Amino acid sequence: MREERLDHEHQALGSLQHELFEREVGRARIAFVLGSGLGSFADTIENPQVIPYAEIESMPQSGVPGHAGELVVGELAGVPVVVQKGRVHLYEGHDSREATRCVRAFGLLGIPNLVLTNAAGGIEADWDVPALMRIDDHINLQGCTPLGPHETGHRQVYDEELGAALERAAAESQVELHRGVYAAIPGPSYETAAEIRMLRWAGASAVGMSTVQEAVAARASGMRVAAISTITNPAAGISETPLNHDEVVEAGRLVSERFTRLLKTFVPLA
């Protein structure tokens, strides 16, 4: 059964790679994956070609609010880019291979750089939210890996040179950029206060339900990977109010100007 699933996913990946090649997605030098509420960055793309996921047969589609479900191909500061507006999640019923299919296709097309973004809960009590955090490592608590039996993972998933470029972009654009460890949980339920205490003890600064599978798969595909968390709310036990997804999307909207300024400054530095 496992072999059948892997064979099916191999065929789906090949089909997606072909479809994206036909639409010239492979000319991009940087691919971006946008998390909940962060889609406005794609509105700054020059000469955009918008491709709804529904028009791409092998593209997994998300039903989560705040994930538009389209690719935007164009340029920023003269650099060819592709923006994935919305991702699929494990908690929607997708396995790790399906959830990473698009970034795998980016790697196969020869796109060298990937920037992953997400909305996350903040574990650092002294950070004002919404805030931005460069992910320099992660903790995978999702109970799975996107790697197949013959793929090799990397100890250092997040590229130091891309991370340094993000730091330079933050300084140039006068955007505060924290740095820390991202913990990924399966979802869809938010974490408990006890779980947050455990994650703080383990060294995490933010917690969410995405990104880790994509980062591991992209790195194994040969891409350089950087990642940014938008800290949209204090996590359970730190927040004084119950957590909800509407709050996450609204916080993403509030921080979008800083987020967009940071990424636009980053692109020519990458």
Q: Which of 33, 53, 144 is nearest to 94 (CA)?
A: 144
pLDDT at site 189: 86
pLDDT at site 154: 77
What domains can you pick out in the chain, each with its CATH number?
2-269 (3.40.50.1580)
Q: What is the pTM of this model?
A: 0.92
Residue type at position 65: P
Residue numbers annotated as active site: 36, 67, 89, 91-92, 119, 209-210, 233, 245
pLDDT at site 256: 84
| High-pLDDT (> 90) share of the chain, % | 69
Q: Which of 139, 250, 118, 133 is nearest to 202 (CA)?
A: 139
What does the alpha-carbon distance between residue 245 and residue 251 come to, in Å, rounded to a whole number? 10
Q: Please check the confidence at residue 179 and state whether its pLDDT lies above 90.
A: yes
Average pLDDT, the chain: 89
Q: How confident is the model at residue 225 (pLDDT cuts 50, 70, 90)?
A: very high
Q: What is the dihedral of CA 77, 78, 79, 82, to 10 degrees?
A: 80
Q: Which residues contact 100 (CB under 8 A, 6 or more apart)?
A: 146, 213, 214, 216, 217, 218
Q: How confident is the model at residue 237 (pLDDT cuts 50, 70, 90)?
A: low
pLDDT at site 68: 67
Q: Which residue has the tokens 């040969």?
A: 222
